[in-house]
Structure 1
Amino acid sequence: MVCGLLDVTQLLLLVCSVTALLLIDQRRDAEDDRGLNKAILEMLHINKVSASHQAKPHPYMRRIYQHLDSLEARDFGGSDGTLVQSFRSVDGPRHAPQGWIWFNISTLNPSMLGAELVLFRKTLHLPLSVTVSLHSVVASQESLRESPALEERQLTLDQRPLSGYDVFDVTTVLVAKPPELLGFQLRYTDERGSLVLHEALTQSLYCLERGSLSEPLLVFYQAHPVQF
């Protein structure tokens, strides 16, 4: 009888030990699963945030799309379906000078005929006027090819356009057939004709932050640009 009781006791202890080990393994598996699920959820969250940001159209482009939707039905048979292309600003090449706003237009449709640079202007409470000239540069390999001034206009610093954007017609850059990177720079002279620090003033005047909804935009059209 004593031997029988010892055998039963040992069997129970063995069963309890195995059960405890199984519970520990299950707990570890559950913790691993929770860790893996958390990592997956974090990745999905990042992807979701990234995708939703990319899906948000630039406010200026929303106006363009609304304008296109409002047009009466017309024959676009002569087009390949691409009426407008827009590009947001990117990092410039390593050998580029400071103070330029860069765009990668390697995917530009060759049928585009018009182009405009769109910059969201901040309000500066300075009753001053400056004359701004817009220049462009094409980057190819290790060289930069700068253009003459594309446009020149006078800005009153404490008065913004009704749309909030300064829009520059840069259609002439298409003549140079830029292969990939295209840069723009604003240069200023004050009322006395003195040169103003263009990079500092551009950063003060315009929203240049990449990733923001109002970052610089380069828009190409299959017809002449439509300004708002």
Structure 2
Amino acid sequence: MRGVCLGVLDVPLLFVLLLLSSVSGLLQVDQRRDADDDQELNKAILEMLHINKVSASHQNKPHPYMRRIYQRLDSLEAQDFGSSDGTLVQSFRSVDGPHQAPPGWIWFNVSGLNPSMLGAELVLFRKTLHPRPLSVTVTLHSLTAAQEVLQESPALEERLLTLDQRPSSGYDVFDVSVVLAVRPVELVGFQLRYTDESGSLVLHEALTQSLYCLDRGSLSEPLLVLYQAHTLHI
């Protein structure tokens, strides 16, 4: 009798196992069907928006210097800005210069400049350090282009660079707010001119290329940052 009873009990147990296996298989099929449906839905949405694929563009990544500015603004959120402007910030990456422009200039297209901007700074990443404490004097000049007319300004700033030391931020930042006096302006160009210890003027572009990251598309490419009021001095 015991053997018969065990045999009888084994039948429903086998049935239960088969039932569970069947349910599990159905759930997996439903999950795959739901995933396929989601994929088709996402594809349909992208097609409606005329988007072939979704990708993270390199140019959409924030410039490291701008990331510092955003962090700085976030840290100031608790303060009262009622009596202070300067939270509005615009930035422009370097572009190709106009055809009639002389070589060796760093250009920015500022045709989308907000008219309320009062402060501007040129941000250049210093990429090379000299092993010895050499210094060189650099003078910054600018060109503005409006309606295909180029106008060069007097020297904006003269600075002594120590080539074996990099700024704490890694960037040389020049105050170029003077260029905003020309309105309207479409393009702004900058050139660095160097004087060595003997007082000789060095004008070749290779020196700027050796000191700074000028590659467009690089995260540390030249940047023109504009402020509604005063710079943040990052």
Q: TM-score range by the shorter chain?
A: 0.7 to 0.9
Q: Are 2:189 and 1:183 aligned?
A: yes
1:178: how far off? 4.6
Given that 2:108 and 2:188 are in contact with CA atoms closer than 8 Å, whether structure 1 keeps it comes out as yes
Name 2:67's counterpart in structure 1: 62
Q: Deviations over 1:78-133 (max 9, x none)?
A: 87x97100000000001101000000001111111111000000123253211000
1:161 and 1:78 mapped to 2: Cα distance?
A: 28
Distance 1:75 1:189 in 2: 42
Query: Does residue 160 of the first structure (1) align with residue 174 of the second (2)?
Result: no
* TM-score, normalising length: structure 1: 0.74
Please give the residue correspondences for 1:55-134 in structure 2 after superposition, counting only pairs within 5 Å: 55-71=60-76, 72-75=78-81, 83-125=88-130, 126-134=132-140
Amino acid at match of 1:55: N
Match of 2:28 in 1: none
Inter-partner Cα distance in structure 2 for 1:59 and 1:90: 18
Change (3 A) 1:120 1:147: same
CA distance in structure 2 between the partners assigned to 1:77 and 1:130 by the alignment: 41
Work out the number of aligned pairs and report it. Answer: 183
In 2, distance between residues paired with 1:218 and 1:201?
Answer: 20
User: Residue type matched to 2:152 in 1?
Assistant: E
Q: Which residue of 1 aligns with 2:203?
A: 197
- Residues 1:226 and 2:232 are matched in the alignment: yes
**Aligned AA for 1:165?**
Y
Task: Give distance in 1, aligned partners of 2:212 and 2:228.
Answer: 27
Q: What fraction of aligned residue pairs are identical, expressed as a percent?
A: 76
Letter paired with 2:143: V
Letter in 1 for 2:229: A
Instruction: Quote how far apart the aligned CAs of 1:220 are.
Output: 0.4
Cα deviation code 1:180-199 (max 9, x no counterpart): 10000000000110012341
Structure 1's consecutive aligned runs of 4 or more residues displaced over 3 angstroms after TM superposition are 75-79
Q: Which amino acid aligns with 2:224?
A: L
Q: Which runs of 5+ in 1 are unaligned?
A: 1-39
Match of 1:174 among 176, 180, 186: 180
| Residues 1:127 and 1:198: Cα distance change in structure 2 (over 3 Å) | farther
CA RMSD of aligned residues (A): 2.1
Is the CA contact (8 Å cut-off) linking 1:186 and 1:198 kept in structure 2? no
Helix, strand or coil at the partner of 1:219: strand
Structure 2: unaligned runs, 5 residues or longer: 1-46
AA matched with 1:181? L
CA contact (8 A) 2:73 2:87 kept: no
Contact 1:127-1:156 within 8 A present in 2 as well: yes
Q: Which amino acid in 1 is paired with 2:57?
A: S
